Amino acid sequence: CYPIMKECNFTGVLVVTNGMMPGDEGCMTVAQFKELIKEGWNICIEWDEEILKNKWWNDIRKSLKALDMQPGNVVYFPEGTYDKKYDSIAQQRGFSILVIERTEEENPIQAQNEDGIWHLGAIGFMTKQPKIWLQEAVNQDANITYLIGFEEEKQLYNGESFKGMLMALQQYEAASELMIGDV
């Protein structure tokens, strides 16, 4: 993803958990992670019920501190894990942006900011209709986040379709119909 996004002048958000930190087996190296952060990418913590416990929170902050990094203000809720009651807990932990994965049936488009927390609806990039969701978000003047990963089928990276999607994003941005922002 990185070379294509850099070519298009886009940045992304890197999700970390206690079980998947840079340098861990199956993850990018610490040097790769730091390169992306240096290029303007952001860090996002994946929500886990353990976040309710101080030990988990302290462990993840400690892991990031060992990499000379801070947790940031973004937390990602995998599909089926978000509940409105978590907003206040997220705020207490310093999060102001919640990326909430939804299914196509749930409608991933999120329209507004609520109670000091920005809720961003998210959907796997390899769903049936990513460009249709993008058009809907533009039409509704709303938010949508695309998830790209390496484990879940609907999030799997595909270079050709990914580049096509970034080109569509650039066209909307050039026409001033879309603001592409980072966190």
User: What's the mean pLDDT in 165-173?
Assistant: 83
Predicted local confidence at residue 32, as pLDDT: 93
Residue 125: its H or E element? none
**Amino acid letter for position 141:** D
154 has a pLDDT exceeding 70: yes
The answer to whether residue 35 scores a pLDDT higher than 90 is yes
- Mean predicted lDDT score pLDDT of the chain: 83
- The reported pLDDT for the residue numbered 152 is 78
Q: What is the mean pLDDT of residues 108-115?
A: 70
pLDDT at 8 over 90: no
